[in-house]
Amino acid sequence: MEALRARGGRGLLYAVLVAGAFLMVVPLLYMLSMSLKPASQVFLYPPRWIPNPIMWSNYPDALDRLTLRSFLNSAIFAGTVVLGQGLVTTMGGFAFARLRFPGRDLLFLAYLGTMMIPFVVTMIPTFLIVVRLHWQDTYQGLIVPILANGAFGTFLFRQFFLTIPEDLADAATVDGASPVRVYWQLYLPLSKPALTAYGVITALTAWNMYLWPLIVIQSQELRPVTLVIAELSGQMNSELHILMAAVALSLLPIFLLYAFGQRFFVEGVTMTGLKG
């Protein structure tokens, strides 16, 4: 009887997971279907899921609207944020995990408390600082304020560094290694799973960021993909097939990144919870 109940519980759980996965995948499939349709089939009801004929030419047309410069801007923004936040958060995580100084735990809790503050609360003061520095409509104005938003990454790396045996750091210290050398040559090489996990999360967030670039960037030359798609969505009500192709192209780098780092992503997130 207990075995039947356990089997029934697992079956119900799988059914719920399959239903949730279906709800998540359907919009993506609809976007791909729409992006391959000719203009005459966009507004058909009921919708035709398999386009006939398949219009691969929608994608070159969409790329012309997006421009390669917008992809380059998004890549520069996301890549710099990943590297900058990675440096800041790994150093912070190492300090809170292995260095001993007065008020360390209290300061760590206060730093984590910043995660409770919504971005809209700090957005205007941050923008005023950017204006005072004359960084408006520049890469540094777009990137530098984001580098300070690393409370989650600091927590992630602190938890991961706590799983590394402290004897390794003690042995390196006895051999004359400074804390900086222990961090750079010992802890960072051992934290590839956590680095990959955080890199994927940060890249996803930066690539999809819309509100902050909208406030800081005005010129067409510096606009990332998200701003270009938002602009196109207001101009292409009669060309939804081209718009959906543009959205699909904007998601492609993120899918490739996640596919490459999926194994490390799962491993890194799992290992960060092994020790408090």
93 contacts 188 by C-beta, under 8 angstroms:
no
198 contacts 86 by C-beta, under 8 angstroms:
yes
Nearest-angstrom CA–CA distance, 201 and 267:
14
Rounded to a whole number of angstroms, the CA Rg of the chain reads 23
71 contacts 60 by C-beta, under 8 angstroms:
no
Please state the separation of Cα 177 from the chain's center in Å. 34
If we measure between CA atoms, which residue out of 116, 50, 82 comes closest to residue 202? 82
Q: Strand, coil or helix: what is 239?
A: coil
Nearest-angstrom CA–CA distance, 167 and 171:
6
Nearest-angstrom CA–CA distance, 102 and 59:
58
Nearest-angstrom CA–CA distance, 69 and 220:
9
Nearest-angstrom CA–CA distance, 192 and 267:
10
123 contacts 211 by C-beta, under 8 angstroms:
yes
Question: What would the pLDDT profile of 207-250 be if each residue is shown by its tens digit?
Answer: 989 999 999 998 888 999 999 988 887 766 667 888 888 888 98
145 contacts 129 by C-beta, under 8 angstroms:
yes
Nearest-angstrom CA–CA distance, 25 and 91:
38
CATH number assigned to the domain covering 66-271: 1.10.3720.10
Nearest-angstrom CA–CA distance, 272 and 52:
48
Lowest mean pLDDT among 29-43, 144-158, 165-179, 259-273: 259-273
For residue 49, pLDDT over 70 is answered with yes
63 contacts 124 by C-beta, under 8 angstroms:
no
Question: What would the pLDDT profile of 143-165 be if each residue is shown by its tens digit?
Answer: 999 888 888 899 989 988 988 88
Question: What would the pLDDT profile of 22-32 be if each residue is shown by its tens digit?
Answer: 888 888 888 88
Nearest-angstrom CA–CA distance, 88 and 252:
28
For residue 272, pLDDT over 60 is answered with no
Strand blocks (E) in the chain = none
130 contacts 136 by C-beta, under 8 angstroms:
yes
Query: What are φ and ψ of residue 32, in 5° steps?
Result: -65, -40
pLDDT of residue 4: 57
Task: Give the mean pLDDT of the chain.
Answer: 84
